[in-house]
Amino acid sequence: GKEEIECKAIADDAEAELNVALPALQKAMAEVEKLDKSAISEIKAYKSPPKQVETVLAAVMILFGNKTDWTTAKKVLGEANFLQSIKGYDKDNVSATIMKKIKGYVSHADFKPEAVGAVSKAAGALCTWVHAIYIYASVAKEVAPKRARLKGAQESLAVKQASLQKAQEELAEVTAKVNRLKQKYDDSVGEKNRLRAEADQMELLLDRADKLVKGLAGENERWRASIGQLQNEIGRSLGDALVAAAFLSYAGPFDTQYRSNLVGGWLSAVREQQLPSTENFTFASFCALPTDVRQWNIQGLPADNFSTENGAISVRCSRWPLMIDPQNQANKWVRKMEESQLHIVDLKSKDMLRKIENGIVYGLPVLLQDVLEELDPALEPVLAKALIKVGNREVLRLGDKELDYNKDFKLYITTKLANPHYTPEVSTKTTIINFAVKQQGLEAQLLGIVVQKEQPTLERQKADLTLRVAAGKQKLVDLEDEILRLLSEAEGSLLENETLVDTLQQSKLTSDEVTRQLNEAEETEIKIDAKREEFRPAAIRSSIAYFVLDDMGRVDPMYQFSLDASPKNITGTERCRQINVAHTLSVYQYTCRGLFERDKLLFALQLCLRIMTSENKVPKQEFDFLCYGGAGIERADQRPNPCPEWIDAGAWDNITALDSIPACMGIASAFEQGQRDWRAWFTSSEPEETPLPGDWENKVTEMQRICIIRALRLDRVLFCASRFVRLNLGPQFADPPPFDLRAIFQSSNHRTPLIFVLSPGVDPTAQVKSLANDLSTNVDICALGQGQAPVAMSLMNLGLRSGSWVFLANCHLMLSWMPELEKRIAEYCAMTEDMPHAPHCDFRLWLSASPSPKFPIAILQRGIKMTTEPPRGLRANMLKLYNLVGEEQFGRCQQRLKYQRLLFSLCWFHALLLERRKFKSLGFNVPYEFNESDYSICHDLVIVFLDEYPDETPFDAMRYLIAEANYGGRVTDAMDRRLVNVYITQLFCEQAISPQTEFNLAPQLSDSPYIIPNDADLASAKLAIKTFPQLDNALAFGQHANADIASQIEDSSTLLDTIVSLQPKVIDAGGESKEQKILRICHLMQEEVPPSFDAAAVRRGMGPRADPEPMKTVLYQEVDRYNILLLTLHQTLKASELGVQGLVIVTPELEEIIEAVLEFKVPRAWSTCYPSLKPLTPWMRDLVCRISALQKWINEALPRCFWLPGFTYPTGFLTAVLQTSARKNGIAIDSLSWEFPIINTPATSIAQYAKDGSYCHGLFLEGARWDLDNSCLTEPIPMELCCSMPVIHFKPVDNKKKSIKGIYSCPLYLYPLRTGSRERPSFVISCEVRCGAQGSEYWTCRGTAMLLSTMH
């Protein structure tokens, strides 16, 4: 202990003091080590050494106890072991005497190693060594007593340690004995603890065994039920899998009804083969787990069965899914389902192939969106999955690259086209899936929205309950999977697997909880659904409204609406009926601002009819009559027309068809009994407002009233439709809201493009500028055209940052750039407010474009559409033109009076040309787009001429430049040019500028309000215009009142044809199926169509006959043309029969024929022989008459009076008449022209051939009537739109003199469409007829013409 510590302290003290000297000694010894014999010899070589060397050697000699003289030193140096003696010097035992002597040396100032080393390095080293020995010896002298004391202490310590060792040995022996006793004790305690632990473990195992038995018993019940269910399913899986495979392969493109029919048919076939199958098989439950379906619903897939089927097809199909997705629902679902890993591309993306390559290599999902009907050929290997096996790798060659194919790669393709036609190459490589929203699915979605608005807690409760149950079921499935995994992987005793027991216990608890929740859910869902059902009418109404909106896209390509775009103004306080009224009106007003005026009534009527149909208020027979009238009536069994003088054959067909509808039965006999009353009603100006004769007023519904109007007064259908809407939906639906740009702007936001759908002659730029000024906002305008894309994009980026408005005008001129604009809009609309570069909240994008099918649907669906149309009516057009003239411009002309009056005439002329288009073919043959620039140029021209010629106004020059050069520059038809010249001649004349006369701008109108004011300054002129009537009288245009009726009939026909085109091609249950109807019609038509001519027999028979050769040639040509038509008819009717029976492939051409026949229209394939506007039934009757007329010519003789409409090419016949006359009279055919004497004898009574030329009958006169007594044109009878012409003698004459006054050159057209087509013009010839009391200009303004065929 203590002695040991003291010994150690003494030793440490001595050691510390020695350590002071040791470094010096070690340094000295290092210097000595460097010495060698040569160094010593160097010192020895001194005969008389330097003083410093001699001093050092003297000190060395003292340490060795030798003499200090040089001789002795040299001798010692010469000894062989001198260096060894130095190194081994006994430094611990230097005597005090030597130390005393040495001290005198080392303390000397010159005895320094550095100084000595400068003389001799060896002497310097020895000097260092002497110093070190002195220092060490000095220290050792001081340490010596300590060492002695240390030695004594160590000896004492050794004695005590020996004693301690003995005591320790004795202690160790005692300790060993104690340890043995302790070990024995510990062993006893351990045994006790082991036994206790074993007891506890046994208790735990018993508890686990109890839990395991009970848990497995619970699972056993569930698994037994599952096994039973699975065994049943496995038993039925053969038939189910077969039907599911067929569904997966074929059902994707079809709608719910057709899919249901397909599955029904397949199940019947499966059962006929006695294959087991599920009674109520559904593809969705067979191919999709309920947990997956719930997850899809959370990710945005609609919850209806149709959408669930689509989801199952999408994830199960072996080919890539191609989703028809006009409402963007599949696109949103895929984005949510695949989330962040998804690569989104389109066919215009520059990096499309690179992203697809990455997806293939790294196994990532790719969404190829917005494809059209053709896909990029570069995608062919991807679509075909053209994999190549290279060793263990699967490789796909894309372009010039070979890519390692990752099996996790997925490709989704979506298109916004509602009804695309894909080639077999695309269809066979993809699985086409119809995601277009259906009424059932939309109802379910909208019901959720309505209930969420009205009863948010109810909807939230249902959603939470569904989520909880779905989560519980999912957890149960996961626990079952975990139990099975643990059981399969268990080793040894199951009782030792604590995780398994806990999982079983958890499964039991969860199962009980889920069962409880399911029972709760069932009860709660019954309550919730009952409450929700109260709001179903609102969902049905909203769904109907959407599908009416969707149909409008087929009327005009710009009418595109998305599900997200409908107005959001349903409030939570409104009940279901109020919701319906408010929402329907809101949809109507929202939609109307984006519709052209002509389509607003169509939309309102469609909305009204669809709503009433859903409420079973529109009987199908009545609706079919409204659409088709008496188109399919058989005249063989038709009762005779009691009033042929005022009911034409077409109208009587309608009445006969109407009589077959149960609610209108007896109406045909009512005409026989009450002719006078019905005629009075028929001739009334507003029959829709006039009570029906007899008790019919009280018997009919409004739907039946519109059917009666459609039967007799087609011209009033539009007015009656407006009344129908007003009475059934409300007056506000018959009165479109006025255009209010500020209100539209306020309903928009920075993510909503505002789109002007342009009409000719209208520019909305000024309105946008005006609104921007009112709101103190800057608007940047870019008129799009070549090279303007960078400018437009730059303005947009600036506007998005600064919040200014951007107006991109005339987008239709840069349709190729529109996809880039669509992408940019989508980019900034996808940004949230907290993102950098998010769009400024004040930004607005204004667009204007003429209607185009190539305008991006996505922009139209995202934006607010507004139609811009020119003002309607003469009054509004004139006011608009006068508003273009400022005071300064008005005062430019020096001939002030003439200018004011001629300006009024010019404005009237321009307004006449614009508004005359409403009369359709009676107005202009070609509808020209005259605009304000035409007017502005002529305005300037008038000023120039008046200033240049102050004395005499050059009317001829003015008229020529205005009517022929400027406005006439647009006019392509000769008859239209003639009309424009008549108008300009009437309006630009001396009387127009005479201040003494009140010049009447509408000379055919007695008491005309259209007078040029004498004081026609700017303000007075505007006041005078404001006195003009709002509604234009047809006489103001020089037209008869019948012209209004003709245009109204055409508008009504267009409305009804559009409604027909928008109808779904389905047949209601219980009615005649589409296939049955086609077979019936085709069978009837095959019986009716005449057989083809035997052309060879015709030529043989006609050869010997004396008919003129040109006439024979015409006959042969007609026979050949009709043969082509008849052969086409027979073949296509037979093919249609076989097609609907599934015996031949239905080609697109054959499908078009079938659809046309169903709609009682003439298919295009049958219209190549001759043009016609007749519906199918009158067309067929007309064809039979044509063939009959030709057959009579062939069988009997050359007709004495030709039925001119029966020729496919009447001009060929007329040329043959000229050739016959020229050959007969020996005159050059070029010198011949025509005269047109009118023969009052009926065609059947003509007994002799014409001496020269030919008699022709069957012509109709439109826009006038033929006065048989005076043999001239006269006013038509009210409501008589066409009248028959007497027989006309087409008489060739040689060197005919110029027509005398009182003759009207009346154009003859093939059919009512006077322009005809590019391939087949309608104009035949101009016939000169007597004008009667009026001049030729009068009939030119009337648009009077002859026709070879009419509509019926």
Residue 830 — pLDDT band, cuts 50, 70, 90?
confident
- Mean pLDDT, rounded, of the chain: 87
What's 917's DSSP letter? G
Rg (CA), the chain: 55
Q: Cβ distance 1121 to 1169 under 8 Å? A: yes
Residue 1208 — pLDDT band, cuts 50, 70, 90?
very high
Asked if pLDDT for residue 1257 goes beyond 90, the answer is yes
Query: For residue 573, what pLDDT is reported?
Result: 42
Residue with tokens 């007593």: 145
Residue with tokens 């160790």: 172
Query: For residue 858, what pLDDT is reported?
Result: 85
Which of 9-13, 603-607, 688-692, 1012-1016 shows the lowest per-residue confidence on average (mean pLDDT)?
9-13
Q: Cβ distance 1329 to 1239 under 8 Å? A: no
Q: Cβ distance 1117 to 1209 under 8 Å? A: yes
Asked if pLDDT for residue 227 goes beyond 60, the answer is yes
* One-letter amino acid for residue 297 of the chain: N
Q: Model's pTM, two decimal places?
A: 0.75
Query: For residue 886, what pLDDT is reported?
Result: 85
Query: For residue 569, what pLDDT is reported?
Result: 47
Residue 996 — pLDDT band, cuts 50, 70, 90?
confident
Number of residues assigned to the chain: 1352
Neighbours of 382 (CB within 10 A): 25
Q: Cβ distance 922 to 1343 under 8 Å? A: yes
Query: For residue 1290, what pLDDT is reported?
Result: 96
Asked if pLDDT for residue 868 goes beyond 60, the answer is yes
Query: For residue 226, what pLDDT is reported?
Result: 80
DSSP code string of 977-1006: HHHHHHHHHHHSSHHHH-TTS--BS-TTST
Q: How far apart are CA 351 and CA 1047, in angstroms?
A: 54
Residue 980 — pLDDT band, cuts 50, 70, 90?
very high
Max CA pair span of the chain: 188
Q: How far apart are CA 1168 and CA 1320, in angstroms?
A: 10
pLDDT in tens, 784-815: 998 899 999 999 999 999 999 999 999 999 99
**Count of alpha carbons within 13 angstroms of residue 424, beta-carbon side:** 1
Neighbours of 172 (CB within 10 A): 10
Give residues with Cβ within 8 angstroms of 172, minimum separation 6: none
Q: Cβ distance 1090 to 1187 under 8 Å? A: yes
Q: Cβ distance 1172 to 1316 under 8 Å? A: no
Nearest Cα neighbor of 635 from 1120, 1194, 1084, 1306 is 1084
Q: How many helices (H) and strands (E) does the chain have?
A: 50, 25
Helix, strand, coil percent values for the chain (each to nearest 5): 60, 10, 30
**Mean local confidence (pLDDT), 817-839:** 87
Tokens found for residue 197 = 């632990």
Q: How far apart are CA 982 and CA 1003, in angstroms?
A: 13
Which of 582-591, 841-850, 994-1003, 1061-1070 shows the lowest per-residue confidence on average (mean pLDDT)?
1061-1070
What is each CA distance from 643 to 652, 668, 682, 966, in whole angstroms? 9, 11, 12, 50
- Alpha helices (H) along 251-304: 256-272, 283-287, 290-298
DSSP, collapsed to helix, strand or coil, labels residue 733 as helix
Nearest Cα neighbor of 1038 from 1330, 1326, 681, 1335 is 1335
pLDDT in tens, 1287-1334: 999 999 998 877 678 999 999 999 999 999 988 999 999 999 999 999
Query: For residue 571, what pLDDT is reported?
Result: 44
- Provide the b/e sequence for 1312-1351 (b: ≥16 CB within 10 Å): bbbbbeeeeebbbbbbbbbbbebebbbbbbbbbbbbbbbb
Nearest Cα neighbor of 1345 from 1300, 1314, 1303 is 1314
Angle at 214 between CA 208 and CA 219, to 5 degrees: 115
Please classify residue 188 by burial: count the beta carbons closer than 10 Å to its beta carbon, then call 0-12 exposed, 13-18 middle and 19+ buried: exposed
Tokens found for residue 18 = 């020695």
Query: For residue 579, what pLDDT is reported?
Result: 81
Tokens found for residue 306 = 């149709």
Neighbours of 170 (CB within 10 A): 9
Residue 942 — pLDDT band, cuts 50, 70, 90?
very high
**Mean local confidence (pLDDT), 346-353:** 85
Query: For residue 572, what pLDDT is reported?
Result: 41
Asked if pLDDT for residue 89 goes beyond 90, the answer is no
Q: Cβ distance 448 to 460 under 8 Å? A: no
pLDDT in tens, 566-600: 554 444 445 677 888 888 898 999 899 899 998 99
What is each CA distance from 874 to 770, 878, 910, 980, in whole angstroms? 26, 6, 9, 17
Q: Cβ distance 802 to 795 under 8 Å? A: no
Asked if pLDDT for residue 4 goes beyond 80, the answer is no
Nearest Cα neighbor of 24 from 97, 91, 74 is 91
* One-letter amino acid for residue 351 of the chain: D
N-to-C CA span, the chain: 140
Q: What's the 3-state SS for 1213-1268?
A: HHHHHHHHHHHHHCCCHHHEEEECCEECCCHHHCCCCCCCCEEEECCEEECCEEEC
Q: How far apart are CA 760 and CA 1247, in angstroms?
A: 56
Q: What's the 3-state SS for 778-840?
A: CEEEEECCCCCHHHHHHHHHHHHHHCCEEEEECHHHHHHHHHHHHHHHHHHHHCCCCCCCCCC
Nearest Cα neighbor of 325 from 311, 340, 341 is 311
Which of 17-21, 126-130, 350-354 shows the lowest per-residue confidence on average (mean pLDDT)?
17-21
- Alpha helices (H) along 1105-1169: 1109-1140, 1148-1158
**Mean local confidence (pLDDT), 461-477:** 74
Asked if pLDDT for residue 928 goes beyond 80, the answer is yes
Neighbours of 627 (CB within 10 A): 17
DSSP, collapsed to helix, strand or coil, labels residue 749 as coil
Using left for φ > 0, alpha for ψ between -120 and 50, and beta otherwise, residue 1070 falls in: left
Query: For residue 947, what pLDDT is reported?
Result: 93
- Alpha helices (H) along 867-931: 874-883, 887-890, 896-915
Asked if pLDDT for residue 563 goes beyond 80, the answer is no
**Mean local confidence (pLDDT), 329-348:** 89
